[in-house]
Structure 1
Amino acid sequence: MMTTLEAWYMDTSSDGDQRSPHRLDPNQPVSLDELEKIGVSHWKLNPDLYENDPELERIRKEHGYSYSDVITIQKDTLPNYEEKLKMFFEEHLHLDDEIRYILDGRAYFDVRSVGDRWIRIAMRKGDLITLPAGIYHRFTLDDTNYTKAMRLFVGEPVWKAYNRPADDFEKRQKYLATIQCV
């Protein structure tokens, strides 16, 4: 399926609202090929079919995503909304892949490039993304302040995040070796 995923190197010169696009002027887009080089995978699916989507089932089976749940992130539905958004936006890594499927709304994932620059990935309804274990990243909503996402896991869900610096973890070292950055 054709993709419309948009990503770019971020302008980090200001401390403005984390929910703003933070594009450089001129914009410096990042291609899907560049994202794949750092281990980020993307699929475009039909979220209106997510409960019975054969393509989602194929991806889940192929990658072993056996557990899933759905979370709605907006002020009225997420307890401790502001605290959670701040926590999601702290730079961190996980020891397992992070898999998210946007069922509605919009959000951003920021990931570190090989050169340690921030890349902002605009997630929209229908985007499914996998961030590899060991990649530094963070998450935030955009200015709509709403997203509904499916969280997928291999096996039981693991929620533990390790804030940067976390370079001594074996998963981080394996990740760096995978992208030939060591």
Structure 2
Amino acid sequence: MHQEPLRTAGQPLPTAAKALIMLHGRGASAQDILSLAAHLRVPDFALLAPQATQSTWYPYSFLAPPPQNEPWLTDALAAVGRTVAAAQAAGISPENTYFLGFSQGACLTLEYVARHATRYGGVVAFTGGLIGDQLYPEQYSGDFAGTPIFIGTSDPDMHVPAERVRASTTLLTNLGAHVTEKIYPNMGHTITQEEITLANSLVFG
């Protein structure tokens, strides 16, 4: 599963200065998330978006016990890893590699980077948190070394509880990330212009 061809946009990967890995939400597509780049300060970036099989990275809620979402979750993380490897093969360093996801893609984004913490260019999670019925700190290692991470979400949100966002912020901070968390009252399950503005200034600026 999750073996569909990588979708790309922006600068050609062999000549790009930076890479942005973009992860779509449940029921959406790589093309959907790539379209968001028109609103981001990423003119010199290669844009890389893997496509989930049947538009779903894993079948159940991100709050389900992890074994319930296997083997899809492991395969989803491997798809992100292959995308990172493609950027590295083109000579783009981790410091010039960025991540962005929305909803299920935001959860997958945070889960991947927390399991492979290092100094990345930056991370944007629009409505997401770390995956599991609880947090499992033993799964996470490395040092973000000040990587800027922006997490924006609504309270309430139909899929992502604010308390999981807060717990994720704490764990990512403990791994050395510089996390900016914004929880908006009654925002809805969406991406707002204010979130895009913050992502541009905090991560892509």
TM-score by length of 1: 0.31
TM-score by length of 2: 0.29
